[in-house]
Amino acid sequence: MKKLIVSLLISCFALSGCQSYSEIEDTYLVSAISIDQGKSENYLVTVEIVEMNEMGDQTSPKAKLLSSEGETILGALHEISVAASKKIFLSQNAAIIVSETLAKKEGMVPTINLILHEIELRLTNDIIIAHGCTANQLLSLNSTGSDIRGYEIKDILKNSAKQLSIIPEIQAYQFINTLGTEGICPVLPAFGYEQAKEKQSLSIYGSAIFKNGKLSDLLGVRESNFLTILLGKAENSTITVKVPGEKDNYLSLHTYHCKSKVVPEIDGKNVKMKVTINVDAAVNVLTEKENLLIKKDEKKLVEKMEKSLKKDFEDFIKKAQTQYKADIFGFGDKIYKKSPKTWEKLKKTDYFSNIDTQVNINLNLISSGFINKSSKKGNSIIAEEGNEGE
């Protein structure tokens, strides 16, 4: 991490032309920006800056926070720069954190205006919502992870989206584009923190749902994982599946490939969304002593898991229709692309709540480790690859 930050410092200044060491000293490299509701002004803005400290023969990066309030976010940033008596260098900013309170009250338009009008900020910035705390608190953590919170957030987002698929990977330009598209409600990742003795650690809460530019609801990790799958943005993931008919039996599936297809079927005024999810997965762990991984029962077990997952996804879609009332799946956008005339009629109605859905799950177990003898450890049964029964 330290080598990465030093490299970023060198590259960002190299790209801006020849710079003397004194000019570098007169500039603050910003790694993260947090935006909260102010007390005396409209906005409280905090920037995390990276300072390079000389320690013997080594250069060590250190984070420092600078804050200011202002009537606008840009105004508060300007006040920070004036008070710091140094230029604020934003081109290497990794994350913009917006508090849940502000996202509900003011919406995301002020933050979008910042991104679009501050020429140094990149449209590839990550935007996250601070849940259960202020945005400033996330930057102020005495964290068990990296000392540079902005880059720690970026690393967690990348791992959670690419390796775990528990949140969709959404950068600023993607959120802005979705916000301006009819027939879909955008989402953003939501972070909180966990206390562990004297240290805190960043934690992913799930996804934040936006309607009309304002935060309306939050999804937990499991629902956020389902959303990522339905949006076609999931690859590696872990899904816990209840096995119907087997009391208190759950299987943990690791997905290697997951592809979803959502197709609207239009018949006059009636619209049905046909959702097909194809999953290649391996069984990780069972949470019951009873061994379900018997070779002769593989087909039956797969059918049970498909039925369970089908119900889980249908329940999630129905919850989005009735409780969240937010088209986070982009059903409306898909209807528009297939039949603009149908969409012109539907968009004036409560179309999302009235759409019927049909979910089909095709599960393919690979490297499943079906066995005849259990390998027991505590209350779990571990699937042992390459040790199949005869």
Does 357 score more than 70 pLDDT?
yes
DSSP character string of 94-139: -EEEEEHHHHHHT-SHHHHHHHHH-TTS-TT-EEEEE-SS-HHHHH
Q: Supply the pLDDT for residue 286.
A: 55
Are 58 and 135 members of one domain? Answer: yes
pLDDT digits (tens, 9 = 90+) for 48-67: 998 766 544 555 678 899 99
Domain tally, the chain: 2
Are 323 and 385 members of one domain? Answer: yes
pLDDT digits (tens, 9 = 90+) for 112-150: 999 999 989 999 999 999 999 999 999 988 776 677 888
Are 53 and 84 members of one domain? Answer: yes
Are 126 and 257 members of one domain? Answer: no
Are 191 and 258 members of one domain? Answer: no
Label residues 73-110 b or e (16+ Cβ within 10 Å = b). bbbbbebbbeeeeeebbbebbbbbbbbbebbeebbbeb
Are 277 and 173 members of one domain? Answer: no
pLDDT digits (tens, 9 = 90+) for 323-355: 999 999 999 999 999 999 999 999 989 999 999
Kindly state the average pLDDT of the residues 235-254: 78
Are 144 and 276 members of one domain? Answer: no
Domain boundary residue, one of 232, 263, 284 = 232
Domain ranges, residue 177: 1-232
Are 274 and 179 members of one domain? Answer: no
The rounded mean pLDDT for the chain is 82
Domain boundary residue, one of 180, 205, 232 = 232
Are 255 and 148 members of one domain? Answer: no
Are 256 and 115 members of one domain? Answer: no
Domain boundary residue, one of 202, 232, 262 = 232
Q: Supply the pLDDT for residue 125.
A: 93
Q: Which residue has the tokens 């954190």?
A: 97
pLDDT digits (tens, 9 = 90+) for 56-112: 455 567 889 999 999 999 999 999 988 887 888 898 899 999 999 999 999 999 999
pLDDT digits (tens, 9 = 90+) for 256-268: 888 999 999 998 7
User: In the chain, what percentage of residues exceed pLDDT 90?
Assistant: 51
Are 275 and 314 members of one domain? Answer: yes
Are 39 and 128 members of one domain? Answer: yes
Q: Supply the pLDDT for residue 145.
A: 67
Q: Supply the pLDDT for residue 297.
A: 72
CATH code of residue 298: 3.30.300.210
